[in-house]
Amino acid sequence: MKKTILIIEDDIDIINLSKKPLEQEGFTVSVAMSVKFGIEKIKIEKPDIILLDLMLPDGDGAEVLKWTKRNQEFSDIPTIILTAKSNEFDKVLLLELGADDYITKPFSIRELIARIKTILRRYESKSQPKHNKFEEEGLIIDFDSFEVIVDGTNVKLTKKEFEILKLLIKNRKIVLSKDKIFYSVWGSEEEISEDSRTIDVHINKLKKKLGKYGERIVVVRGVGYKFV
């Protein structure tokens, strides 16, 4: 199956330099020329890799990178930054934001293709089937089968409760805000009202179902929740 590359770039010369050679290498290539349409194409196409320019007509390309990394559905899409910046600090900052690589303009198309293939191979090896399970003391959570076992007893969680638990465990010891939890579990298509206490209600029910292990979900007042 062909891999899809999304190029988010407004420079026609760069697009023309890259698109045809990438297609000749067997990739399907899609193009967006702004932050807005870049995000729209990510939502619709979910590409296998993104080539991202930083200086776009409607904003900073880094905003696209930040958006993908905070959105659970798209956070695993690798990104290569196409940048005219040569400052080491800028490059380090981009990598810290979650970029997988960067290439400085003007660049060799052969080098770009080599970097794309290297990153895709790395991600494919990461995605090989593994037994996706959390197990400590008497708490067992199988993320593939959606099974939760507490001291030998199967516990039934709702879909939202399971997704919250999974999110907290995958970000263990990191405090997640209620907004982050809501955005990751419910998605942006729904709104949370400040007085609904949606997250609190779900987490309180979750903690009760987990019995003594519910104490491992800790509230950090004024900030959010974490799993310890």
Per-residue pLDDT tens digits for 167-207: 999 888 888 988 888 888 887 545 555 435 788 999 999 99
Q: Which two tokens stand for residue 68?
A: 């993908």
Q: Do residues 32 and 40 touch, judged by C-beta distance below 8 A?
A: yes
Residues 121 and 138 in one domain: no
Residues 120 and 137 in one domain: no
Residues 109 and 192 in one domain: no
Residues 111 and 54 in one domain: yes
| Percent helix, percent strand, percent coil in the chain, to nearest 5 | 45, 25, 35
Q: Rounded to whole angstroms, how far apart are CA atoms 199 and 39?
A: 27
Side chain identity at residue 147, one-letter code: E
pTM for this prediction: 0.57
Check residue 195 and give its pLDDT: 38
Residues 116 and 13 in one domain: yes
Last residue of one domain, picked from the residues 105, 126, 147: 126
Last residue of one domain, picked from the residues 92, 126, 160: 126
Residues 99 and 44 in one domain: yes
Residues 189 and 116 in one domain: no
Last residue of one domain, picked from the residues 70, 104, 126: 126
Nearest CA among 71, 92, 117, 24 for reference residue 81: 92
Number of domains in the chain: 2
Check residue 98 and give its pLDDT: 86
Nearest CA among 36, 31, 34 for reference residue 18: 31
Residue span of the structural domain in which 209 resides:
133-227
Q: What is the CATH number of the domain that holds 14?
A: 3.40.50.2300
Residues 181 and 156 in one domain: yes
Residues 41 and 103 in one domain: yes
Tell me the pLDDT of the chain (228 aa) as tens digits.
789 999 999 999 999 999 999 999 999 999 999 999 999 999 999 999 999 999 999 999 999 999 998 888 888 899 999 988 666 556 677 788 889 999 989 899 999 999 999 999 988 866 554 558 888 888 999 998 899 999 999 999 999 999 999 999 988 888 898 888 888 888 754 555 543 578 899 999 999 999 999 999 999 888 889 998
Question: What's the length of the chain?
Answer: 228
Residues 59 and 18 in one domain: yes
Residues 78 and 10 in one domain: yes
Check residue 14 and give its pLDDT: 95
Check residue 217 and give its pLDDT: 95
Check residue 189 and give its pLDDT: 45
Q: Rounded to whole angstroms, how far apart are CA atoms 25 and 95?
A: 26
Check residue 88 and give its pLDDT: 56
Residues 118 and 183 in one domain: no
